[in-house]
Structure 1
Amino acid sequence: MAGASRQQLLATFKDLLASGAFSDLTLTCGADTYRVHKNIVCSRADFFARAVKFGGKETEQGQVDLPDDEPFIVKLLIQYIYEGEYEPCLPDDDYSSVVATETKPTSKKKHRNSHTYNYGFPHSCLPYRYSCNDPNVCPHHTCGSHCGYQCAEFTCATCKPNPPTIQGPPDQLITHAKMYEIADKYNVTGLKELVKEKFNRACQNFWDDANFAIAAHHAFSTTPETDKGLRDVVSKTIAEHMEALVKKPEVETLLTEFNGLAFRLLKMKMEAGWK
């Protein structure tokens, strides 16, 4: 019943956007026009709340123009504001788990033998110290007894056999990078978390595609060094596929342009014992 009620509520919001019924604010971007609702867009994106509260014609005429943004990305932004998702969408069960992580702290999982496992893949020990900060990786691997504290980006084939499910083509990598940028620009509630999950899945599936380097460049050129959201995903992806990716000219250019990325990779490989 709860699921059906949520679907009905979602359908109502989608109908409000499609019909423009009860609209009290107009958003324009290029040739696109959206008849939206202040209660919805202002509560979901701080930019619109400030534009309505302190704006000139935004307050007088009930109109906000977005001339500097890409119409396609704005379309996806509006979709997210009204639906909590944007294309390409996550599978329903996976989306529910992403939403849950936005409000609930993550915790380590316990196995029936009472051990607590971290499931932090890929996992690396501290090879120069012959120790590990978190040795109970999963039910199939405990550092020390299984690896002699020599793990280097270990991933359990049983616990994590395949990349997570994903829909859509490889160019979604660029879409996600642009969505992260607009989420930061307009301070959109919850959007960054969803983008990170989608970008991570896309990188795991399409790391060998030409769009990866383009998306990585966009992520690094549109975020400050303090914002690790997509930057850490890019670093992790390159580290996992170092041998193949560093041979690509576009990735070499990426490492040359962004010294922070090159240093992060160097640090990751040092921590992994250069294996």
Structure 2
Amino acid sequence: MDSPNVELMSALASLFECGKYSDLTIICGIKRYPVHRAIVCSRSTFFDGACRNLFRESESGIIDLTEDDPEAVEHMVNYLYHLDYLSKSLSRRTSQRRADSPLSGRISSLRKSKKLNLAMVEDPLLAMASAANAMPNPLTPPDEQPNRFEADLSAKLPDMPVENLVEEDSFENMEAEPEANVENPHLVTHAKVYAIAERYGIPGLKSLARKKFAQQLELHFGSSEFPEACQEAYETTVDTDRGLRDVIIQSFRSHPELSLRKDVESAIRETPGLAFELFRMASGLPVAS
């Protein structure tokens, strides 16, 4: 039985997926998001103001965000119904179906089974040869009579041990399906989501984007996304918003080698705000006044 929290989140997700009872539409380019005023207006100061006052959006029931980044808008809307974004976890039904599939069970049993050891299988030629050697022959001494079974067998078998003839188990070498975006830190995406959360007054999303940005930057400070993420953070936020900027400055403090990268150097040259703060940091001055 699902807990009350899971039940509530499932109900919100269902409302978003099917669009039932929707009374507001968010448009961004070619994408349309049927949403619910009670949900989005209670979470965003922008949507609350747009629907509560006598604006065009309040009368038409359509809010056009085409000028915003489409990816950031999608993550914002997803957060309003799922309390998260960039979450690709499988549903319970899908996971159960995959686990119960006949092919999955067959592969699992094959992976657990041991390889066939041919050394333990009795070879019929060897058995016949052994039987022939065991039969006494009064006409020819055993040391002088050649055994044609053994001669034929030695000509057919290679010099390598029998164990090496076993083919490699293809199931043991099958790699598991990689998780989506495991190595992609999405630094630029988190910076965009942080900016759009600030623009539309969604403090919970802003806090979540900062947390994701800081965690991924700590793990992937050497990522090729780092220079672009720095530019995105400094160009889409005001000087007094230290949410992402402090995280970036701390990365330069912890990893001075970042300044030696050519791509990072180019980003610093093109981002005056970042260059100024790094200059103050190198001079021993407080970065933020």
Shorter-normalised TM range? 0.5 to 0.7
Q: Secondary structure at the match of 2:184?
A: coil
| TM-score normalised according to structure 1 size | 0.65
Equivalent residues of 2:185, 2:216 under 8 A apart = no
Please list, as runs of the form range in 1=range in 2, the aligned pairs for 1:156-195 lying within 5 A after superposition. 168-170=182-184, 172-195=186-209
Identify unmatched segments of 5+ residues in structure 2: 90-180
- Aligned 1:1-275 pairs, distance under 5 A: 4-88=3-87, 168-170=182-184, 172-243=186-257, 245-268=258-281
Distance 1:3 1:227, change over 3 A: farther
CA distance in 2, matches of 1:181, 1:55: 26
Q: Is the partner of 2:27 in helix, strand or coil? A: strand
Kept in 1, the 8 Å contact 2:228–2:267? The answer is: no
Contact 2:234–2:273 (Cα < 8 Å) also in 1: no
Q: Which amino acid aligns with 2:254?
A: E
Task: Tell me the residue number matched to 2:174.
Answer: none
Give 1:76's aligned amino acid.
H
- The question of whether the paired residues in 1 share the 8 Å contact of 2:46 and 2:200 is answered with yes
Give the whole-Å Cα distance in 2 for the aligned partners of 1:21 and 1:212. 40
CA distance in 1, matches of 2:21, 2:224: 44
- Aligned partners of 2:273, 2:17: CA distance in 1, in Å? 44
Unaligned runs of 5+ in 1: 91-166
Distance of 1:49 and 1:185 partners within structure 2? 13
Identity across matched positions, percent: 36
Amino acid at match of 2:191: A
Q: Distance in 1 between matches of 2:88 and 2:208?
A: 10
d(CA) in 2 for partners of 1:250, 1:264? 18
1:55 & 1:203 partners in 2: Cα distance?
A: 43
Give the drift of 1:250: 2.1
Question: What is the TM-score of this pair, normalised by structure 2?
Answer: 0.62
The answer to whether the Cα contact below 8 Å between 1:27 and 1:33 also exists between their aligned partners in 2 is yes
Alpha-carbon distance in 1 for matches of 2:207, 2:52: 27
Q: CA deviation at 1:266?
A: 4.9
SS in 2 for 1:246: helix
Counterparts of 2:213 and 2:282, CA distance in 1: 23
The RMSD of aligned alpha carbons is 2.6
Q: CA deviation at 1:89?
A: 7.3
Alignment partner, residue 120 of structure 2 = none
